[in-house]
């Protein structure tokens, strides 16, 4: 069973699971990525799978937990909110373009349930808008967002803890193709629920630093 641990500044969370949890999810991610025409074979889904592999290989975080009378090892890896939410949305999108069995669907529902539970617990006031933004991202093709996701993640990590909570839904909304159309129609000033493109200026994957606090 997957578990989450919130970070100090709400920049992300640590995803925890036992060896079987993480290897099973890793296999599912790689399978969907290799079969779906709307996902990149070396893109965001394999990147998440890579994180999981590093975790269950003992190269990230490790801990012990007790289930019943048994003590088991669990493995964790940190995730950044905008990136992880986009990855789950892409996975849901990719799954719709392949023949999937009940086992695959159950893993998808499990991952979405994990995401919803984590958002509800960590962002109790903003959870409705964040989850609405997640659902709006389903159907987005990966090639449309790969380049811009880095600017959103970098901008998100530049914010304070309070700003991360209040702006996460808006940052996710800016990943939708219609966001650009809305900006063109109404101008570049910040509208209610819409961030101006200037917020993301000078933010890229390269501006994300290992020293950014989660």
3-state secondary structure of 66: strand
| Tens of pLDDT, residues 123-143 | 999 999 999 999 999 999 898
pTM of the model: 0.92
Give the CA radius of gyration of the chain. Answer: 17
Task: Kindly report the average pLDDT of the chain as a whole number.
Answer: 90
3-state secondary structure of 126: coil
Residue corresponding to tokens 């099973």: 24
pLDDT surpasses 60 at 191 = no
User: What does DSSP assign to residue 28?
Assistant: H
Give me the helix-helix angle, 146-157 and 81-95, nearest 10°: 150
Pairing, β 12-17 against β 70-80: antiparallel
| Tens of pLDDT, residues 73-132 | 999 999 999 999 999 999 999 999 998 889 999 999 999 999 999 999 999 999 999 999
pLDDT surpasses 80 at 183 = no
């Amino acid at each position: 069973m997957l578990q989450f641990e919130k970070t100090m500044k709400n920049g992300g969370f640590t995803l925890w699971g036992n060896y079987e949890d993480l290897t099973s999810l890793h296999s599912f991610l790689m399978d969907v990525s290799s079969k779906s025409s709307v996902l990149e074979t070396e893109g965001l889904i394999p990147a998440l799978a890579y994180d999981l592999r590093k975790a269950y290989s003992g190269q990230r975080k490790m801990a012990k937990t007790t289930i019943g009378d048994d003590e088991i090892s669990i493995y964790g890896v940190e995730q950044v909110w905008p990136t992880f939410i986009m990855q789950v949305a892409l996975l849901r999108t990719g799954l719709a373009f392949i023949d999937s069995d009940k086992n695959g669907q159950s893993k998808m529902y499990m991952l979405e349930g994990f995401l919803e539970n984590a958002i509800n617990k960590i962002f109790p006031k903003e959870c409705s808008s964040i989850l609405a933004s997640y659902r709006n991202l389903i159907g987005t093709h990966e090639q449309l967002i790969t380049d811009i996701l880095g600017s959103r993640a970098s901008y998100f990590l530049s914010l304070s803890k309070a700003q991360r909570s209040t702006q996460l839904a808006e940052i996710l909304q800016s990943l939708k193709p219609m966001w650009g159309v809305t900006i063109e129609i109404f101008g570049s000033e910040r509208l209610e629920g819409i961030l101006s493109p200037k917020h993301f200026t000078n933010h890229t994957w390269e501006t994300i630093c290992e020293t950014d606090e989660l």
